[in-house]
Amino acid sequence: MASSNILKFCLLLSAISLSRTWALNSSSHMKYSQNSSSIGSICKTTPYPDVCFDSLKLSIMINISIEISPNINTFLLYTLQIAIFESEQLSNLLLDAGNSDNIIENQTGTIQDCQELQQITMSCLQRSVSLIQDDAPIKQRKLADAITYLSAALTNKNTCLEGLDSATGPLLPTLLSSIDYTYMYVSNALSILSSQKSHNKRRLMDMGAPTWISKKSKRRARTLKSEYDPSRVLTVAADGTGNFTTITDAINFAPNNSSDRTHIYVKQGIYEENVEIPSYKQNIFLHGDGTDATKITGNRSVGDGWTTFRSATLAVSGNGFLAQDIYIENNAGAKKHQAVALRVNADFVALYRCSIIGYENTLYVHSFRQFYRECDIRGTIDFIFGNAAVVFQGCKIISRFLTSSQFTVITAQSRDSPDEDTGISIQNCSIVAEEDLQSNSIRVKSYLGRPGREYSRTVYLESYITNFIDPTGWMQGPNNDDEGSKTLYYGEYDNDGPGSSTDGRVSWPGFMIFLSTSCQKRLQKAFAKPLERSEGHLNPQMMMKDNKSPPNLAGSVMYLQGDNEGRSYPTYSDHVQVIDSISQQLNQAYKSIEVEAMTAMRRLEFAVELGFDRVVLRVT
């Protein structure tokens, strides 16, 4: 708080020093009045309008004094700059907290979590400033990126506070106050930024590579053969036949902040280690020998004193991470409560043909943009949870029996603000139960999801659901009341299987099950038999003539492919167009997950193509 007062005092001195120039300008008072009115209209829709107005009115005096006409971008940048200043002070406070007994942790990793997440928040704020400072209006792609960064920053705040909830110590009240105050500016910046989405429409039909892929990577995607150059691969082998015997050693050896991909091949074996990929280890590709051969296991849990965030067997904070053919497990057991197998708080992350196994809180899709293709995910309660913009395609999602509980829940999405671009989209997946849960489904109720926070968003579409799911479908969260059911967004469309009937579903205002007739026809036309069903679950293959095995595309609907008879399959642009219509038809009052998460998916599929050269088959 004191640091904020110092900043404001300095700004006020600047304004006073320029006041003579301002006074000489006969139109300055009128401009001040006009801009005050503009600030009032901008700030009144933010989460913290008083904080917004008090900070922005200082910027009016400075900008008018130096003859700059403020606009919404000016106010947005000013808000972000204050957020950066406050974040720097908070980082220093967290550093002090970690070097003293002023904060007493009751869970291992509490302060470390906050420190690491705060550094990621700083990066998010700085990147947001760089995206918007030269554009008015902000271009749609930059706008989407900045909203993603600020959404992740707010998720970092909540995760830090969750850990501090069990902490004690004399510095704790000051630390909590500093966190709340700092993130008021982040929340306001996100609100101002999100208000520009309606004024800057972009068609989602562009099939060109996204801006985050370098020209070198694009050339590589067009010309590289299916095999990697062995001399450029780091090999991990538990038996000592590789470059390293542990995955952690290979990660540590990988270059920092690399724009080139680092390929790490993990040979068959069981690797009992907690692997952390920090934010400065970017573009890592982890490739195994298959989920039955290459296994990473750990056993950290909340029951043993770790934070949920720090309990992960594999923790990914480095952007551009890819993984293929790897088994990731937290084997702490059902009695140890939250125990994460995989945690991802990084942007442009994709996993292909991986198994993610645990009990409670198996997969922590913490933040940013993520894509999972043909993965097995197994757990008991809230076993897919977090606040990322995440898409699951062709995955097998398996609920496990928990003898100590009367229920199981698949998802717990934690969107905390209507301005965040986050949510869970589950498409063309199979939703099944282990045999012992299936046989006890009358006694143990199972649900598709429950809200982790007030604005939770989850959508199931075109998936196969077995009859272990309770007819109500969805469960209220532990802190949810009738008001909470109005702000969440849960959707089901065109699912099948004995558990897919929506006749007995919850009647919450935020639950959607219908589409207009015209939108249904468009969906049916664009996706006529895109996937085959086999043995009660989805077989992620496109239909082809004479049941021939199709190209195994790690992204399924990326390209318009044709067979010898001239038939074609739906492209991803078809998908985006239909999803766009779905979101508009369902309810204009809710910002549905399909459009925003599918936009993330389009980018992530390019990442899959670039990293998974062995499985991308180009039809000539």
Q: Are 226 and 613 in contact (CB under 8 A)?
A: yes
DSSP string covering 239-286:
TS-SSBSSHHHHHHHSPTT-SS-EEEEE-SEEEES-EEE-TTS-SEEE
**Phi and psi (nearest 5°) for 373?**
-125, 125
Nearest CA to 419 out of 250, 606, 187 is that of 187
Helix/strand/coil percentages in the chain, nearest 5: 40, 20, 40
DSSP string covering 137-201:
SPPHHHHHHHHHHHHHHHHHHHHHHHHHTT-BSTTHHHHHHHHHHHHHHHHHHHHHHHTTGGGS-
| Catalytic residue flag (residue 180) | no
How many residues does the structure list for the chain? 620
Q: Are 487 and 454 in contact (CB under 8 A)?
A: yes
The number of CA neighbours under 13 Å toward the Cβ of 368 is: 24
Q: CB within 8 A of 618, min separation 6: which ones?
A: 551
Distance (Å, rounded) from C-alpha 613 to C-alpha 194? 37
Distance (Å, rounded) from C-alpha 76 to C-alpha 192? 7
Give me 92's structure tokens: 């220093």
Distance (Å, rounded) from C-alpha 606 to C-alpha 611? 9
List, as own/partner pairs, every contact residues 480-483 make where C-beta atoms lie below 8 angstroms and the sequence separation is at least 24, other chains included: 480/450, 480/451, 480/454
DSSP-based three-state secondary structure for 430 = strand
Residue 525, H or E segment? helix 517-526
Nearest CA to 390 out of 94, 181, 601, 609 is that of 601
Distance (Å, rounded) from C-alpha 162 to C-alpha 574? 41
Distance (Å, rounded) from C-alpha 497 to C-alpha 516? 22
Only one residue has tokens 């125990």, namely 339
First to last CA, the chain: 63
Distance (Å, rounded) from C-alpha 150 to C-alpha 160? 15
Give me 371's structure tokens: 């894509």
Among candidate residues 382, 416, 421, 574, the one labeled active-site is 382
List, as own/partner pairs, every contact residues 36-41 make where C-beta atoms lie below 8 angstroms and the sequence separation is at least 24, other chains included: 36/60, 38/70, 38/75, 39/75
Give me 367's structure tokens: 């933040």
The catalytic site residues sit at 382
